[in-house]
Amino acid sequence: MYFIEGKLSVRVNGTLRISVTQINTKGIHLKKLFHEQAPGLRSLLLGALVILLPLWLSTCASRPARTAPSSKHYPLTNTHVKTLASLSNSMAKNPNDGHGLFLLAMAYYKQRDFQEAAVCFQKAIKLDLSSKEKKEAYDKQAWSYYKMGEYDRAINIFEKAIKLYPDWNVPFRGMACALRQKGLYSQALKAFNQILADHPPDLMALDNRGWTYYLMEDYERALADFEKVAQLSEGNLSLRTNVLNGQGWCHYMKGDFEVALGKFSEAIEIAPPEYGYGLLDGYRGMAFVNAALGKFEQAYRSINRATSAMKYDTSHDLALLYYVAGDKKRAWYYLGGPGYIGIGLQPISINGNDILYIATVDQGGPAEKAGILPGDIIVNIEGHGPADLRLFGKTVKSATPGTKLMLVISRNGVDKGISVTIGSADQLIIQDRLLAPIFSSTYKTSSDGMDDPKQ
């Protein structure tokens, strides 16, 4: 799942919907964004899509029902621009310089331009590289596709690296992470278990196996793995922060709110200042624990601290928190309205034209029932076009559940009219896994005296 900062988007089912951007939590899995589109459209859309998707997973651990793994924010400084420009100019003069192309690919990778990085790594692999560079080129190329949500391509490259370097556990671990991102948990566990049998103790594999158990809602096994990592990672504060957050989320999901609060507090206390994601994750955890304890003002402040640690779209979290606090008006404001269609939109700009690409469709949701598929492109909304996010957001937010929304979508180059019955966002929120521990607790909610958190 991913960050798309500073773009108006439409949140209608809890991930990328009517709001400002998306961060699909650890209950935002990163999903493969291309499914049924026409063959020629794939490369065009992917090239544009990378501009909008600075994806990153620090330990490749997916965290469902909380936060999408993400990166620290790396702005493109003048130094980075000069470095990229210098390397690009050098490659223009000597396009067969494998070492130079490798350095250019690494520069793109560090700037989260994963599409350019993947292309450059692929070219570099075919040229004269040192054995160390070629090894890393395979690894980083695979991770580039992984971070763009292209898990099948990532797995394919990881498998090539495994065949070339059978004693190297890094690509094997990456393949296991990609399998998990696809929801193939049993295969991922098998791979992590093999790594741990062949390379004990691989703390990254053990940590990621813990997150796999977390995704599977096997919290006791997840906690056992996290505890083992904690005992062996004394000097690695980033890894320990990640583990404490994992323990916090497991205890939260089990309803052990006070224990969870202690874990998140400890994670925040030891997190290195540069580990923005660890701080964000800890503060988010504290927000939902405080909500579970009925301390909503503290929950809102924790969200503010989370976004101070690392910028992310707070709208989904705030919608959930206000909803459980009994303030539906504010919940709908942050969610984007009471309507729900069940699609994940990806805005793409091609030659200055905005395109609304349907990345995901909720199973059993209004859009699926109407016949909408992943890969469809919204062309027209209620007779108005070309479709853009502002128009879509305004239309959906003003719609009343039960009313009809007329869309024209393009599928494989053919336009088709579809009528979608707007659903209720109540169902969406109630089914959100993040709130399950709160709904099952015994506290009473109240919306009295709640102030809107500063944004």
State the Cα–Cα distance between residues 213 and 216, nearest whole angstrom. 5
Instruction: Enumerate residues 6+ apart whose C-beta is below 8 A from 423.
Output: 339, 340, 341, 342, 365, 366, 401
In what helix (H) or strand (E) does residue 46 lie, and over which residues does it extend?
A: helix 39-49
Query: Which stretches of the chain drop beneath a pLDDT of 70?
Result: 1-82, 347-354, 397, 442-455
Cβ contact 338:332 at 8 Å: yes
pLDDT in tens, 363-372: 888 999 999 9
State the Cα–Cα distance between residues 72 and 64, nearest whole angstrom. 19
State the Cα–Cα distance between residues 71 and 84, nearest whole angstrom. 20
* CA nearest neighbour of 399 among 10, 8, 6, 4: 10
In what helix (H) or strand (E) does residue 169 lie, and over which residues does it extend?
A: none
Burial of 295 (C-beta count, 10 Å sphere; 0-12/13-18/19+): middle
For residues 166-176, b (16+ Cβ closer than 10 Å) or e, as one string? eeebbbbbbbb
Q: Radius of gyration over alpha carbons of the chain, in Å?
A: 22
For residues 383-414, b (16+ Cβ closer than 10 Å) or e, as one string? eeeebbbebbbbbbbebebeeebebbbbbeee
Cβ contact 33:49 at 8 Å: yes
Question: Angle formed by the axes of helices 296-309 and 276-292, to 10°?
Answer: 170
**pLDDT at residue 258, as a whole number:** 97
Cβ contact 381:387 at 8 Å: yes
**pLDDT at residue 352, as a whole number:** 61
In what helix (H) or strand (E) does residue 155 lie, and over which residues does it extend?
A: helix 151-164
CB atoms within 10 A of CB 443: 13
**pLDDT at residue 61, as a whole number:** 38
* Amino acid in the structure at residue 168: W
* Amino acid in the structure at residue 455: Q
**pLDDT at residue 14, as a whole number:** 34
**Between vectors from CA 144 to CA 148 and to CA 1, what angle results, nearest 5°?**
30
Backbone φ and ψ for 405, nearest 5 degrees, come out as: -120, 120
Q: Cα dihedral angle (368, 372, 377, 382), rounded to 10 degrees?
A: -100
Q: Which CATH architecture has domain 44-225?
A: Alpha Horseshoe (1.25)
Cβ contact 299:452 at 8 Å: no
Cβ contact 376:390 at 8 Å: no
Cβ contact 81:107 at 8 Å: no
Instruction: Enumerate residues 6+ apart whose C-beta is below 8 A from 8.
Output: 20, 347, 389, 390, 393
Identify whether 201 is preceded by a cis peptide bond (ω within 30 of 0). Answer: yes
250, two tokens? 């497991």
Domain range annotation of the chain:
44-225
* CA nearest neighbour of 366 among 407, 425, 421: 421
**pLDDT at residue 271, as a whole number:** 96
User: What would you measure as the largest C-alpha separation in the chain, in angstroms?
Assistant: 69
399, two tokens? 């719609």
The pairing of strands 414-421 and 404-411 is antiparallel
CA atoms within 13 A on the CB side of 119: 8
